[in-house]
Amino acid sequence: MKRSRQRIKAGMILLCFLAFYPGTAAGGEAVSVTSPAISAQNIEYQYQEGFYSQKISKKLKKRMRGVSYQKNPNIQFSDLRYLRVLHYNFKGKVKSGEMVVNKSIAKKTLKLFYELYQIQYPIQRMELIDNYGADDVKSMEKNNTSCFCYREVDGKEKLSRHALGKAIDINPRINPYVYFGYVSPSNGRSYAQRDSRKCKGKYKDYMIHKNDRVYKIFMKYGFRTWGGNWNYEKDYQHFQCE
Ligand SMILES: [Zn+2]
């Protein structure tokens, strides 16, 4: 396909350019790509430059198998898509993040993150949970934003929406899970105080609140369930769709 070949060429030129002139792309922002040169020829759908989806490659299957992906009757690799999106980090730098989601929500998730990028909502990091051995606590402690992980809801015999790639945990350290006195991750304890005027956390301005702009973007793209709306247990990082 000519178009994609041209795109690869253009991408390679851009990468070379960035290697020599870091800090000159995207309106003067440095773009640092967390994974090595992306196999751009496998793009299935591109929404905007830097925002695209791919089928799960052989290499990625190897990375996920036995980690975030377990053999199961509910979801296959073919039901999932690998996304790359640009996002700002807490230092105002533009990064390329990665995420695995259900293919049924791949396009709208790209659009959602494009809107977050446009409003410059900072996301500290966006890596597959496989980088943390699929350990949710370790991933949350690093404030890692992620989606797919085949696991059951703790203590319940029900599949988590994460197991279907239909739930996103965003900036989990500053949007922790809170159940009475219990806070997870524990290094997000100061963010259990959701009143920005009282919260002592350094990044309190980026906590998610009901009806704020981040909340509205998730709602707009069909992530209608927010853990912050739950009655007793509050999961401020968690948005899911049906
Ligand atoms: Zn979650």
Structural domain boundaries in the chain: 2-240
Distance of alpha carbon 34 from alpha carbon 166, whole angstroms: 23
Confidence at residue 155, expressed as pLDDT on a 0 to 100 scale: 56
SS3 state of residue 83: strand
Distance of alpha carbon 48 from alpha carbon 179, whole angstroms: 39
238 C-alpha vs ligand 1 centroid, how far in Å?
4
4 C-alpha vs ligand 1 centroid, how far in Å?
35
pLDDT of 7 over the 50 cut: no
Distance of alpha carbon 144 from alpha carbon 168, whole angstroms: 11
23 C-alpha vs ligand 1 centroid, how far in Å?
34
31 C-alpha vs ligand 1 centroid, how far in Å?
28
128 C-alpha vs ligand 1 centroid, how far in Å?
14
217 C-alpha vs ligand 1 centroid, how far in Å?
17
Confidence at residue 111, expressed as pLDDT on a 0 to 100 scale: 98
pLDDT of 87 over the 90 cut: yes
172 C-alpha vs ligand 1 centroid, how far in Å?
9
pLDDT of 109 over the 70 cut: yes
Distance of alpha carbon 17 from alpha carbon 4, whole angstroms: 19
Contact 170, 214 (CB under 8 A): yes
Confidence at residue 40, expressed as pLDDT on a 0 to 100 scale: 59
Distance of alpha carbon 186 from alpha carbon 192, whole angstroms: 10
108 C-alpha vs ligand 1 centroid, how far in Å?
18
Reported as a pLDDT band with limits 50, 70 and 90, residue 153 is low
pLDDT of 235 over the 90 cut: yes
Name residue, tokens 């702009």: 213
152 C-alpha vs ligand 1 centroid, how far in Å?
11
**What would the mean pLDDT of 111-132 be, rounded to a whole number?**
98
**Which segments of the chain are extended strands (E)?**
31-33, 43-48, 51-55, 80-88, 94-102, 167-169, 177-179, 182-184, 225-227, 233-240
**What would the mean pLDDT of 44-70 be, rounded to a whole number?**
97
Reported as a pLDDT band with limits 50, 70 and 90, residue 41 is low
Strand-by-strand arrangement of the 31-33 sheet: 31-33, 94-102, 80-88, 51-55, 43-48
41 C-alpha vs ligand 1 centroid, how far in Å?
32
SS3 state of residue 69: strand
Average pLDDT, the chain: 87
12 C-alpha vs ligand 1 centroid, how far in Å?
36
95 C-alpha vs ligand 1 centroid, how far in Å?
22
Confidence at residue 89, expressed as pLDDT on a 0 to 100 scale: 97
pLDDT of 229 over the 60 cut: yes
**What would the mean pLDDT of 83-106 be, rounded to a whole number?**
98
**What would the mean pLDDT of 123-140 be, rounded to a whole number?**
97
215 C-alpha vs ligand 1 centroid, how far in Å?
15
Distance of alpha carbon 235 from alpha carbon 140, whole angstroms: 12
Contact 92, 28 (CB under 8 A): no
Burial classification of residue 93, based on how many CB atoms lie within 10 Å of its CB (0-12 exposed, 13-18 middle, 19 or more buried):
middle
25 C-alpha vs ligand 1 centroid, how far in Å?
33
Phi, psi of 85 (to 5 degrees): -140, 155
pLDDT of 36 over the 60 cut: no
Confidence at residue 23, expressed as pLDDT on a 0 to 100 scale: 35
pLDDT digits (tens, 9 = 90+) for 177-198: 999 999 999 999 999 999 999 9
Record the tokens describing residue 35, joined without a space. Answer: 């994974």
179 C-alpha vs ligand 1 centroid, how far in Å?
14
Amino acid sitting at position 205: D
